Amino acid sequence: MRYELYYWPSIQGRGEFVRLALEEAGADYVDVARLPARHGMGMPALMRWLDGATIERPPFAPPYLKVGELVIGQTANILQYLGPRLGLAPRAEAGRIWTHQLQLTLADLINEIHDTHHPIASGLYYEDQKLEARRRTADFREQRLPKFLDYFEQVLQRNPRRGSYMVGARLSYVDLSVFQLIAGLRYAFPRLMTGLAPQYRGLFDLHDRVAIRPRIAAYLASKRRIAFNQQGIFRHYPELDQPL
Amino acid sequence: MRYELYYWPSIQGRGEFVRLALEEAGADYVDVARLPARHGMGMPALMRWLDGATIERPPFAPPYLKVGELVIGQTANILQYLGPRLGLAPRAEAGRIWTHQLQLTLADLINEIHDTHHPIASGLYYEDQKLEARRRTADFREQRLPKFLDYFEQVLQRNPRRGSYMVGARLSYVDLSVFQLIAGLRYAFPRLMTGLAPQYRGLFDLHDRVAIRPRIAAYLASKRRIAFNQQGIFRHYPELDQPL
């Protein structure tokens, strides 16, 4: 089964959480919008699902994943679908519900990270909401980020198969997402994250262990991995990055 | 099976999407934090799951649902669990994935509605972010809300079992959530929503049809339904409510 991933071609964004799962599993997939439009791919192929007047079940936004006739939207929903099929989710129902719950909580944090630089409107430039971004990021740095990281660190420490993974004794898609979260936060807020590292050793270690998994390391070194940049969720504005 | 719902006792909030599903199904449930602490319920019972130092799988925030030994967090995750059990989700996997996808998109909109009055920090008072709220709400009114409502109206119109429900030929938990969305938007933005009503006739009709379902009507007339108020997600600030 070939998976077709549809996501904006020039950013990691929310699509990256799906890419990491597909890469770790060595899945057969195409990153549609990054392929040439003359081959029926590219942005026209992506936009067809959003704008097509006859799509019965249109996604609201990328990423979406096409699997045969099925088109699945919403990042956490895609990962929930892929998890068992790629060997990246627990077998028991309770474990799957818990894994999905963690992914949804991570999605909430990702939304808040986006809003640090776009607190007023995603359709406006950062430059048009710089003052508000400064206020929102101060609260993010002092209140919201520690609350979320405390939570995820605690989840890791309380996993009875202690110390290695977020859920159970094996890697799941949530571990890959935690890797991406920590990598992105380090890109966006290097000074802040250097200061926080000692408090969240479990999460930082998990990041490091994911980064050296053979398939992830190969992916990160490849051209398939888009670099962090100033159009994505994680953006580095030095004026927003202060140590706690 | 008795369900235990844990949510803040004085607001509808995100818990209301779960309450509506339980009520429509006539499920056996207790709204734990609204019952007396002297009977082991109330806020202490709610806080135990958030703060308890030995909870292996703690939820990040309410609502969460206890079902036997299972504690499920994240609103859309709870509804995904309850859907098939309460007869409020399609039987086929593709239909369930689609229903969950719609609920997650609705959750994104709910987050944006919250941020209209709290664009800077959920921990600050509205009065401390009034100027920013005015800017964010203008964008919400002109860009974001129409984008989401266009989408949901389109989903309703494109359902091949046309005109009645969001998914398939029967009521699902997403229909109940659309009811709550429209009711909340009307409370928060009465002038705006009066102007929008002709464009979103399908969604408004769905709201009206849900409201008169016997169990929902009985619930809305009961003391179990907390009134909209100025501590919830939907808040009425006249200065934020302008017609388009």
Q: pLDDT tens per residue, chain A (244 residues)?
A: 799 999 999 999 999 999 999 999 999 999 999 999 999 999 999 999 999 999 999 999 999 999 999 999 999 999 999 999 999 999 999 999 999 999 999 999 999 999 999 999 999 999 999 999 999 999 999 999 999 999 999 999 999 997 699 999 999 999 999 999 999 999 999 999 999 999 999 999 999 999 999 999 999 999 999 999 999 999 999 999 998 7
Determine, for residues B108 and A60 on separate chains, whether the beta-carbon distance falls below 8 Å.
Answer: yes
pLDDT at A1: 79
A53 vs B73 pLDDT, higher one:
B73
Q: What six digits make up the tokens of B141? A: 């009114």
Match 């939907």 to its residue by tokens.
B234
**Residue of B165, B158, B167, B63 lying closest to B110 (CA atoms):** B63
| Integer Cα distance of B235 and B184 in angstroms | 8
- The whole-angstrom distance between B56's CA and the closest CA on chain A is 6
Q: What is the mean pLDDT of chain B?
A: 97
> Looking at beta carbons, which residues of chain A come within 8 Å of B59?
101
Determine, for residues B60 and A105 on separate chains, whether the beta-carbon distance falls below 8 Å.
Answer: yes
Q: ipTM exceeding 0.95? A: yes
Which residue among A56, A100, A108 places its CB closest to the CB of B160?
Answer: A56
- Report the percent of chain B where pLDDT is more than 70: 100
pLDDT at B62: 98
> Looking at beta carbons, which residues of chain A come within 8 Å of B58?
151, 154-155, 158
Which residue among A72, A120, A155 places its CB closest to the CB of B136?
Answer: A120
List, for residues B76-112, the tens digit of each pLDDT value.
Answer: 999 999 999 999 999 999 999 999 999 999 999 999 9
- The residues that bridge with A70 in the sheet, in sequence order, are A67
Domain covering B93-212 in this structure, CATH number:
1.20.1050.10
Interface mutation vs chain A, best among B49, B56, B80, B104, most A CBs within 10 Å: B104
Domain A3-86: state its class.
alpha beta
User: What fold, for A93-213?
Assistant: Glutathione S-transferase Yfyf (Class Pi); Chain A, domain 2 (1.20.1050)
Match 């986006």 to its residue by tokens.
A114
Give the number of other Cβ atoms within 10 Å of residue A222's Cβ. 9
Contact indicator for B113, B129 with CB cutoff of 8 Å: no
Determine, for residues B120 and A97 on separate chains, whether the beta-carbon distance falls below 8 Å.
Answer: no
- B6: contact with A, CB 8 A cutoff: no
- B68: contact with A, CB 8 A cutoff: no
- The residues that bridge with A64 in the sheet, in sequence order, are A6, A73
> Looking at beta carbons, which residues of chain A come within 8 Å of B70?
94, 97
pLDDT at B13: 98
Checking B40-43 for CB contacts under 8 A at 24+ apart, the result is: B42/B9, B43/B9
List, for residues B124-177, the tens digit of each pLDDT value.
Answer: 999 999 999 999 999 999 999 999 999 999 999 999 997 699 999 999 999 999
Residue of A nearest to B69 (CA): A94
- A59: contact with B, CB 8 A cutoff: yes
| Integer Cα distance of A62 and A34 in angstroms | 13
- What residue segments make up the domains of chain B, in order of their start? 93-212
- The whole-angstrom distance between B218's CA and the closest CA on chain A is 32
Which helix (H) or strand (E) is A80 found in, with range?
A: helix A75-86
Would you say how long chain A is, in residues? Answer: 244
| Integer Cα distance of B167 and B174 in angstroms | 8
List, for residues A200-222, the tens digit of each pLDDT value.
Answer: 999 999 999 999 999 999 999 99
Determine, for residues B119 and A119 on separate chains, whether the beta-carbon distance falls below 8 Å.
Answer: yes
Instruction: Enter the DSSP assignment of A240.
Output: G
Residue of A nearest to B94 (CA): A70
> Looking at beta carbons, which residues of chain A come within 8 Å of B68?
none
> Looking at beta carbons, which residues of chain A come within 8 Å of B154?
58
When pLDDT is averaged across residues B216-236 and rounded to a whole number, the result is 98
Determine, for residues A135 and B121 on separate chains, whether the beta-carbon distance falls below 8 Å.
Answer: yes
pLDDT at A244: 79
| Integer Cα distance of B73 and B224 in angstroms | 21
Determine, for residues B135 and A132 on separate chains, whether the beta-carbon distance falls below 8 Å.
Answer: yes
User: Would the pLDDT of B21 be above 90?
Assistant: yes
Q: Give the Å distances, CA to CA, from A209 to A165, A203, A216, B102.
A: 10, 10, 10, 35
Which helix (H) or strand (E) is B5 found in, with range?
A: strand B3-6
pLDDT at A162: 75
pLDDT at B110: 98
**Residue of A176, A214, A204 lying closest to A99 (CA atoms):** A176
> Looking at beta carbons, which residues of chain A come within 8 Å of B141?
none
Residue A116 backbone dihedrals phi, psi, to 5 degrees: -60, -40
Alpha-helical segments (H) within chain B: 15-24, 42-51, 75-86, 93-117, 130-139, 145-158, 173-188, 190-196, 201-211, 214-221
